[in-house]
Structure 1
């Protein structure tokens, strides 16, 4: 729809300018502009009315001024890996720089009954697993969706939702919070923004929009001349971060599995010398990998393009060769429904449109396939390399639980990576980062890395608190860091480790280190489960059940429980086993046992690093 002098309060020149501007704006820019205009005072908006709109402008000036917006803002985050927490803190600092009184809190630390007192609420929340809230958001999520949730007619809110579009329930938790707050009577400051793995830019735009939407009428003019984004710049170039990774040298790469194992688990030791990066046990290392050169070459050949042709890879105008861009900048191994929708729209291929119209078919199709499969089945597409690249998702970092203590290994970080290899749909497939590390990375090479801090997976502040660690396979990684840290600090609390894998002889990761800690007393007790050594498979949850009486005694003594590893199967089974043990040994009903475990989560005595 075009603006005309006859259907708007603008003169001919203004209408022409707006008609040229509006089609060029992104959705985020439109949201920002809408938030700014909503907050702008009538006097500012109509300070220079067009002659043709004088009557309208005068009417606006005579309208009563809107009531002042409260300067108190509450930001609640639900975070599993720390991204939502970091963005909440960034939003808080930006708002404080604009004169707002800001409270930033984990949802688990916020008293739900205080919600009625909040006038301005910002929610920053990730979605975990198959559409579930992160652990520290569960209680607040249940409260808000329960019968005790209050009417919130005086509330103004906005939601920033983090997710991964390769999952079916993309940003589901954020969508649920956004819908529920509206149902309870809340009014949006700005519309919800859903972020994929490359969230930095849309998150910054959301913060910018929220600040302008919250600004009082008297400060709108200042907000217009000094956008919020300018007051909260990204980290300085010399500070290494997610958006400015450090190129770290690989010192060691060791296969932890013995000869004859059908697994390959790599222990990498990486130098942080000169980076200034620091971490604590429970944090993760982010790695930006490169795609397999063979796969990239096959993809370019299937598309019929010249690998040396150049394309622009970002809004800053950086130029790369097509091959270089597909190697290091774009994700080509993970299919998502949004990506297929973009390709279908770009190419106009009927078969693709038909595929994405059926949710079950598209879900089955994307499992185990990559971009090369799409090109081979539906291509070549007859579009330019630039147009094709523009619909691809930026290469996301891969996160690995840190397997070392900085106190024990100054200026180093260790990680534990299981090599991913499988066959699907007639082709061998490889994990992007794990096979890079297993096959193409040598000591002396470098990796772009950053530290992902995670306050939701931390050792107890009191070193005498008993800890129970449950980590089969590569889930053992953070518990190696826990043990190194406790050894360095001289922590005297009891520690109990549950570890599992396939075979004792070939798959007991870090075996000699665990034995050393048992001998020295740093580790009090260890139970292992090797599922393929006997006819009947035994897993860590079976060892927990065998020790149920003692395990419950530890819980009653205030022990903190930590779980790391596969979310879909292992973590789910361990969670149910924990409830079973509490129910049995505590002589409780199922409901009471579930509440006992929920209380442990609330008290941060039950923490999970699952994926």
Structure 2
């Protein structure tokens, strides 16, 4: 690359290791990195206000598990010899099913406790365990946390499928000693209020794109990596990108200190791709590192690359640390080639411009989880939003969403979790218009009523004062699981009545299993209440979709 040049290198080595937080620039809105010049006019600066509310902070702390007394008769391993001393012959096998790493962490704590007590034990994911080894000579402890709507995590799906299979030997589980530890996990969700510099008109269903920044810790780590590899680039190194053969983002059309580019433009949390590994392989002069990078960049090495990057969610900074000799060859031009820009994150607006014309509210699920790597993983934007202080600046733009609400017809809304955001916006807008909401149904779902019923006060007020029909599925408040599709089934007569009166269905939320489960439920109720065949019911729903009477907005 020849589109970047270094200007006025005026910093010292000490700057890299003692870097302070960058002060906010007044013209930060000019840093819109991924928007075209036409989009730039819609980018606004706003501040977090004093009434920025925290939506029921739900913190989950992993308890410290100690090996219970009933495991003290397990097989004992004598570290001073290769002889296994048995008490009753049981070998402790700790198996975990984990999507975000919580169950894995608990399982490893149990295993470590067993090791400290010198009990012979192993720990692995459920799918890594060979079911043919099941025997009465083992004690198996399953540590499992479900994902989505009670679904098995990815690393135990195969085991679960085989366990339910008809070909399973009938005597396979006879005399098996086992224990099950089921974990419940609540995600932290915040209702964040952004105070606008002036009144901005937006409609229910619109989306706000927020451009986050890297954390102080991540920026400091980046410069520490450069410092540790004797790369002469520092926080106040001035950089100017010249527009030659590439399209230069608005963010870089001026001379900027490198620290500002690192903090506001390069995504330090991004997961390197095959092309990144290819670039690094070209500059590497270390034989072992070059061979490994070349393997990651080759077609036959994609499974290895997936296991190295995607499974543990390894980011670019961790890759640079893993390949120190190659990293030492980096310069400013190569950094621009391998780094990925921060992309604005979309959030459904949860407020009404009629009710609060000088504010925008968003429901933010804070992404924070563990993998096999030592440090927890996090979502760049959700973590940044979580850590904002009052009067901090936020750069954003507003874009039309996919929903098109018709407020003169019956409406069925399904929004579990943060999927309820666009429906809150619509309902608050209707409330401001003094509308009677008797022809509006809201199906909401979460785990526990008292812990993660988002915007509960709003919906209870609307139900009482505007006749909104609210039906909730609290999946963990009873011994059996209840999800939104089950509540729809209970209200199938009412749903059919709304559909017969030219009503529409709106669904928002996770794209995993919920959308299909809800759609199947509507097919079933149309078949049952409408007295149709399976084929006719399917065509009925397809017709709703074609006429935009069944609209969905989902995310991964």
Contact 1:468 1:561 in 2 (8 A): yes
What are the residue-to-residue correspondences of 1:58-457 with 2, within 5 Å? Answer: 234=38, 240-241=41-42, 245-251=43-49, 252-257=51-56, 262-274=186-198, 277-303=200-226, 304=229, 305=231, 306-308=233-235, 309-312=237-240, 315=248, 317-344=253-280, 346-348=282-284, 349-357=290-298, 358-367=301-310, 368-379=313-324, 380-381=326-327, 382-424=329-371, 425-439=373-387, 441-454=388-401, 456-457=402-403
1:483 aligns with 2:427: yes
* Greater mean alpha carbon deviation, residues 578-587 or residues 479-488: 578-587
- Post-superposition offset of 1:341: 4.3
1:604 and 2:548 matched: yes
Quick check: 1:277–1:451 contact (8 Å CA) kept in 2? no
Does residue 519 (structure 1) correspond to residue 464 (structure 2)? The answer is yes
Deviation for aligned residue 1:577:
2.6
Whole-Å Cα distance in 2 between the matches of residues 565 and 580 of structure 1? Answer: 21
Match of 1:459 among 402, 405, 420: 405
Change (3 A) 1:591 1:344: farther
CA distance in 2, matches of 1:319, 1:575: 53
User: Contact 1:531–1:537 at 8 Å: present in 2 too?
Assistant: yes
Q: Provide TM-score, normalisation by structure 1.
A: 0.57
Question: 2-side partners of 1:272 and 1:544: how far apart?
Answer: 38
SS at match of 1:465: coil
Task: Return the offset for 1:401.
Answer: 0.3
SS in structure 1 at match of 2:317 = helix
- Contact 2:431–2:466 (CA under 8 A) maintained in structure 1: no
Structure 1 CA distance, aligned partners of 2:291 and 2:255? 32
Distance 1:585 1:273 in 2: 51
Quickly say closer, same or farther: Cα 1:529–1:420, change in 2 above 3 A. same
Please give the alpha-carbon distance, in whole angstroms, between the structure 2 residues aligned to 1:489 and 1:446: 31
TM-score (normalised: structure 2): 0.62
8 Å CA contact 2:272–2:315 kept in 1: the answer is no
Looking at both structures, which has the greater relative contact order when contacts are Cα pairs under 8 Å and sequence separation is at least 6? 2
Distance of 1:350 and 1:465 partners within structure 2: 63
Q: Which residue of 2 aligns with 1:497?
A: 442
TM-superposed deviation, 1:608: 1.4
Which one of 529, 534, 548 corresponds to residue 590 of structure 1? Answer: 534
Judging changes above 3 Å, is the alpha-carbon distance between structure 1 residues 558 and 328 closer, same or farther for their aligned structure 2 residues? same
Tell me, yes or no, if the aligned pair for 1:403 and 1:477 is still in contact at 8 Å.
yes
State the secondary structure of the residue aligned to 1:334: coil
Contact 2:58/2:452 (8 A) holds in 1:
no
TM-aligned CA deviation for residue 198 of structure 1: 7.5
CA RMSD of aligned residues (A): 2.7
The answer to whether 1:537 aligns with 2:481 is yes
How many residues were matched structurally?
375
Match of 1:234, SS state, is helix
* C-alpha distance after superposition, 1:226-247 (max 9, x if no partner): xxxxxxx736x7xx32xxx211
Q: Give the whole-Å Cα distance in 1 for the aligned partners of 2:262 and 2:275.
A: 16
String of CA shifts for 1:159-216, please: whole Å, max 9, x gaps: xxxxxxxxxxxxxxxxxxxxxxxxxxxxxxxxxxxxxx97756xxxxxxxxxxxxxxx
- Residues 501 and 508 in structure 1, CA contact (< 8 A), matched pair in contact too: yes
Q: CA deviation at 1:465?
A: 0.6
* Helix, strand or coil at the partner of 2:52: strand
Report the alpha carbon displacement of residue 289 of structure 1 after superposing the two structures with TM: 0.5
Q: Does 1:575 find its partner at 2:519? A: yes
Q: CA-to-partner distance for each residue in 1:51-103, whole Å, 9 max, x for gaps? A: xxxxxxxxxxxxxxxxxxxxxxxxxxxxxxxxxxxxxxxxxxxxxxxxxxxxx
Would the alpha carbon gap of residues 571 and 488 (structure 1) be closer, same or farther in structure 2, given more than 3 Å must change?
A: same
Change in 2 beyond 3 A, CA 1:359/1:555: farther
- CA shift digits 1:125-146 (9 cap, x unpaired): xxxxxxxxxxxxxxxxxxxxxx
Name 1:187's counterpart in structure 2: none
Contact 1:278 1:451 in 2 (8 A): no
Post-superposition offset of 1:593:
2.5
Q: Which runs of 5+ in 2 are unaligned?
A: 4-31, 61-185, 243-247, 285-289
Q: 1:377/1:260 Cα in 2 relative to 1: closer, same or farther (>3 Å)?
A: closer
